[in-house]
Structure 1
Amino acid sequence: MRMNVFVLPSWYPSARQPMAGLFAHDQAAAVAAVRPGWRVAVGGWGHLDGALSLRDLRANARALAWRWRARAGWRDVDVGGALLHEHLTPRLSWTLALAGGGVRGLLSASRANLRAAEARFGRMAVLHAHVGFPAGWIATRLAAEARGQGRRLPVLLTEHMGPFPFPALRGPAGGLQPALRAAFEQADATVAVSEALAQTLHAHGLRCDAVVPNVVDDTRFAAVPTPPARTAADPFVFLTLGTLVPAKGMDLLLQALALLPPSLPVQLHIGGDGPEREALQALAASLGLQSRVRWLGALAPAAVPAALAACHAFVLASRHESFGVVLVEALMAGRPVLATRCGGPADIVGPGDGALVAVDDAPALAEVMQALVRGERVIETPATLRERAVARYGRAAVGERVAALLEGLGAGP
């Protein structure tokens, strides 16, 4: 069955923001890879490149400069033998708390992108939106416009938001903004990326028809070697990756590191940047951790395999994760993982993969870190960790599941 699929992401990677919305890009690439006869088009408006800020004047200057230079048009991207067809109609956006982030302009841009895709490839069979607002709301508006023209254009909505909902999308008395609720009510099928997120959707009275995890491009980690050999005196290296914001729990991780015995040879590599960097570095200094912590700065996706190759285990101390892509990347690199029970990680970390601990429990995290360093936990071999992760989250596995959902909608009545 040959189909045309139009993808609407709420965030999407760019040269300046390579990690933003990577989940939407990778899932679209996976679908294109498992269905080589399909046309998979992605509509964008510039996303974070054109995002204005209420507080950061330099960010506003960058966004305005980007808008001045940006031009509408196509970019065909080779994603491992398959093609993604990306169409840009540039628009500025701003915080969701202020007039919905300029969503009417984003709807106009998405309408132009859809028209460009259909002019090039013919009618789209299905829309796939990532995140209920703005993309989910936009997709259901486009579907309603299509119905007004006498045609069926079904919508698959995949929710990634965490924590759900974002504060700006909360309605009165802790409910949901009407536009976000409408996206779920009007979509033809809805998906969550973890069981924990599905339960949260149900708690808000929203339906969730399936749980399909985020996809991870397993080819990126196929060449990562086994963990570096070490003697008893060599440091055991933990790696963590994430934006340096409170939700990622980097402060908790530093506190756990400080609880490890000084005689235990351990290092922590921290990959990421963000508004909490100076505060976290000050915390590390106050805890006497200067010799135990290495700050890697922000890492582009291409640099992640090398960072994983240099570590023995991965640790994620987040206070909330709707999924946890970095955990899957570590497992695909053959590294055991330690994480908090903060949502998505509970789906990912199973027996033999590492350990889960409670959120904000530094002593418990320190205990499992120490046990891992001393070889006191039963961990599968690197090859087994990789094989299991690829079977559950690799491009072929997740791409097939998403493609099947899209086929079911595209072949509907």
Structure 2
Amino acid sequence: MNILILTHSYPDMNHKWRGIFIKEQARALSIKHNIIVVYFKVDYSHFAPFSKYAFLKKTDEKVTVYEVTVCKSFPVITQLKYLSNTFRFLKNEIFTRNHIDIVHSHLSYPAGFLGTILQKIKGIPNVLTEHSTIKLYSRSFLHKLCVNYTLRNASCIVPVSNSLKEEISSQCHRQLNVIHNIVDTEMFDLAKSKEGQIINIGFLGGLNNTNKGLDLLLKSVSMLERKRFFLHIGGNGILLDSFKAMVKASGIEADCKFYGEIFRSDIAHFYTGLDIFVLPSRYETFGIVLVEAMACGIPVIATKCGGPQDIVTPSTGMLIEKDDPEVLAKAIRTMSENLRSYDKEAIRRYASEKFGRSVFIDKMTKVYQDILTRYSNG
């Protein structure tokens, strides 16, 4: 099948991690389908209210990627220009040169909205994968209007977790089909068991806000026995210096290391140096880093904040209540004392069988086939 993927979130030269999960999906689907990705963005550094779009075409493995840029305009007008110019690009550059069977949009706005408009005009079904809370789109009346239209009219809505399914269902009252995000488990190696005295704890996440719960983890580490635990922190963001100051104030500088941004090529090496991986988030629609750690056979500790409930089982880790550093510290101690009870190979196998490429390709292909059958039958 010929699939057009629409998204405003995708890795580029300036944002190597943004939308990485969408890129992984596109690469996986290209094994079985012809995939075109249209990634569109606003260049807020250039004010050009009367300019048209510019685009760059490139190839990523078997995926054809178009990076479409629209320059900033006047307030409100920027959004209208963003939508209209992207639609014009799709009409002029994609649909005149390609036969498209399915539009697969990621995130309700703007991609999901554009995909649903295309569905209305061209009769091509739009599959919407939603990765974020619907509350994200409540910042203006225009956004709410567009998202409500999308949720009511898209051919199919695919939330990435059951918690997100419940949230979306409460708003659009439709049958939804959960398909989890994927991890290319083949790029991760099984971590070797370690005999040392120090328990290596890992954290990896964006540091632009406190949602990932690093502040809670630092408080928990300060409650643990000195020289027995060491915390490895991966990630970058505007709060990095604040977290470093928190480490200093807590007196745990000798028990922590900040790695900054970890490149994709180095991420497997980061995980394999760990004994335990912790994600104490306040809210997650999924939690890809948990699956990545599991792909290395690492047991995980996560909070009951949405997505992790679909990922973590008693044989792969522990689920705890969120926003409680004492409970988190206790969980770390308990897991460290029972590390031998976790089967690394079984954890890796679970990650591969539930979140690997092949299961995702099969599930998404069935969604495509079912929708095309429904459309062909009128």
**TM-score higher than 0.5:** yes
1:230 aligned to 2:192? no
Which residue in 1 is equivalent to 2:223? 259
Structure in which a larger fraction of residues adopt strand: 2
Distance in 1, Cα, partners of 2:358 & 2:137:
35
Which residue in 1 is equivalent to 2:360? 398
1:177 aligned to 2:140? no
Which residue in 1 is equivalent to 2:24? 26
**Counterpart pick for 1:239 among 193, 197, 202:** 202
1:124 aligned to 2:100? yes
C-alpha deviation, 1:206, in angstroms: 4.5
1:9-24 → structure 2 map (5 Å cutoff): 9-24=7-22
Q: Secondary structure at the match of 1:183?
A: helix
Which residue in 2 is equivalent to 1:389? 351
Which residue in 2 is equivalent to 1:199? 166
Distance in 2, Cα, partners of 1:199 & 1:226:
35
Distance in 2, Cα, partners of 1:304 & 1:357:
25
Contact 1:44 1:110 (C-alpha < 8 Å) held by counterparts: no
Which residue in 2 is equivalent to 1:86? 65
Q: Secondary structure at the match of 1:318?
A: coil
Distance in 1, Cα, partners of 2:54 & 2:325:
49
Which residue in 2 is equivalent to 1:160? 131
Distance 1:101 1:177, change over 3 A: farther
Distance in 2, Cα, partners of 1:209 & 1:115:
33
Q: Secondary structure at the match of 2:70?
A: coil
C-alpha deviation, 1:355, in angstroms: 0.3
Distance in 2, Cα, partners of 1:315 & 1:155:
36
Structure 2, unaligned stretches of length 5 or more? none
1:313 aligned to 2:276? yes
C-alpha deviation, 1:259, in angstroms: 1.1
What are the superposed Cα offsets for residues 268-287 of structure 1, whole Å, 9 maximum, x if unpaired?
Answer: 11101111111111111111
Q: Secondary structure at the match of 2:253?
A: coil
Distance 1:93 1:336, change over 3 A: farther
C-alpha deviation, 1:145, in angstroms: 2.3
1:143 aligned to 2:125? no
Structure 1, unaligned stretches of length 5 or more? 53-59, 147-151
Q: Secondary structure at the match of 1:211?
A: coil
C-alpha deviation, 1:410, in angstroms: 2.7
What are the superposed Cα offsets for residues 90-116 of structure 1, whole Å, 9 maximum, x if unpaired?
Answer: 214699xx6386254244224413542
1:246-395 → structure 2 map (5 Å cutoff): 246-262=210-226, 265-375=228-338, 378-379=341-342, 381-395=343-357
Which residue in 1 is equivalent to 2:57? 74
Q: Could you tell me the TM-score, scaled by structure 1's length? A: 0.84
C-alpha deviation, 1:170, in angstroms: 6.4
Contact 2:47 2:72 (C-alpha < 8 Å) held by counterparts: no
Q: Residue type matched to 1:399 in 2?
A: I
Distance 1:71 1:181, change over 3 A: closer
Contact 1:314 1:330 (C-alpha < 8 Å) held by counterparts: yes
Q: Residue type matched to 1:216 in 2?
A: V
Q: Which has the higher contact order (CA 8 A, sep 6+)?
A: 1
Contact 1:237 1:267 (C-alpha < 8 Å) held by counterparts: yes
Contact 1:238 1:269 (C-alpha < 8 Å) held by counterparts: yes
Counting aligned pairs with the same residue, the percent is: 25
What are the superposed Cα offsets for residues 351-384 of structure 1, whole Å, 9 maximum, x if unpaired?
Answer: 21110111101111100101122227842x1111
Q: Residue type matched to 1:131 in 2?
A: L
Q: Residue type matched to 1:140 in 2?
A: T
Which residue in 1 is equivalent to 2:182? 215
Contact 1:31 1:400 (C-alpha < 8 Å) held by counterparts: no
Distance in 2, Cα, partners of 1:100 & 1:246:
32
Distance in 1, Cα, partners of 2:73 & 2:261:
24
Distance in 2, Cα, partners of 1:337 & 1:385:
10
Q: Secondary structure at the match of 1:360?
A: coil
C-alpha deviation, 1:89, in angstroms: 2.6
Over aligned residue pairs, what C-alpha RMSD do you find?
2.5
1:5 aligned to 2:3? yes
Q: Could you tell me the TM-score, scaled by structure 2's length? A: 0.91
Contact 1:12 1:22 (C-alpha < 8 Å) held by counterparts: yes
C-alpha deviation, 1:168, in angstroms: 4.2
C-alpha deviation, 1:400, in angstroms: 1.2
Contact 1:248 1:317 (C-alpha < 8 Å) held by counterparts: yes
C-alpha deviation, 1:143, in angstroms: 1.9
Distance 1:356 1:51, change over 3 A: farther
Which residue in 2 is equivalent to 1:149? none
Contact 1:227 1:311 (C-alpha < 8 Å) held by counterparts: no
1:41 aligned to 2:36? yes
Distance in 2, Cα, partners of 1:318 & 1:410:
38
Distance 1:118 1:376, change over 3 A: closer
